[in-house]
Amino acid sequence: MKCSMCGLEFNEKEGKNACASCVMKGCGMIKCPNCGYELPLEAKSLTSFKRGIVKLKQLIKKEKFELKDNAVIPITKLKKGITAKIAYINTENKNRLQKLMSLGILPGKPIELIQKFPSYVLQIRHTQAVVDKEIAQDIFVRFKKD
């Protein structure tokens, strides 16, 4: 970036160093290392917007990747409304494991992902259960093309 006061060209790191002595943190401005003039940091909304587009592109790619037949994936990556077979459960946390088992979530059973937001709604035979993302990530399913 370029200082609009003295015209010095500097990068963000140099600017951050100049900011070190200042008490105002996260003010959205950056100091010129030469003259100390405070100029606005590149608009955050713009960078986050750019990042969002990159993420979106990744997401579209991923969606295609997921559609591979017979792939074993965490149920969180399944699309809404799809039924798959439970492949296995992550068994590291024993309390969580027992809760999942008591809900009838066991390998071999068909499971439908009804809803993803705000929580995961699952249908296992005649049982409907809601779980949060952390727990849903423990359930791995085998995806089959129908």
3-state secondary structure of 80: coil
Only one of the segments 22-30, 39-47, 68-76, 92-100 lies at the binding site for other proteins (rule: CB under 8 A); that segment is 92-100
For residues 32 and 3, the answer to whether their CB atoms sit within 8 Å is yes
Considering only residues 113, 129, 139, 141, which one is a binding residue for other proteins as defined by CB under 8 A? 129
Q: What is the chain's percent helix, strand, coil content, to nearest 5?
A: 30, 25, 40
Task: Give the angle subtended at the CA of 122 by the CAs of 64 and 141, to the nearest 5°.
Answer: 45
Query: Does residue number 97 form part of the binding site for other proteins (CB under 8 A)?
Result: yes
Query: Does residue number 12 form part of the binding site for other proteins (CB under 8 A)?
Result: no
Query: Does residue number 146 form part of the binding site for other proteins (CB under 8 A)?
Result: no
Only one of the segments 20-28, 49-57, 70-78, 122-130 lies at the binding site for other proteins (rule: CB under 8 A); that segment is 122-130
For residues 1 and 9, the answer to whether their CB atoms sit within 8 Å is yes
Closer to other proteins by Cβ: residue 39 or 130 = 130
Give me the least distance between CB of 107 and other proteins, in Å please. 6
Ranges of beta strands (E only) in 10-145 are 29-31, 38-40, 72-74, 83-89, 110-115, 120-124, 127-131, 139-142
Considering only residues 78, 131, 139, 141, which one is a binding residue for other proteins as defined by CB under 8 A? 131
Closest to 19 (Cα-Cα) out of 6, 32, 7: 32
Give me the least distance between CB of 128 and other proteins, in Å please. 4
Binding residues vs other proteins (CB under 8 A): 89, 91, 94-104, 106-109, 114-115, 117-119, 121, 124-132, 134-135
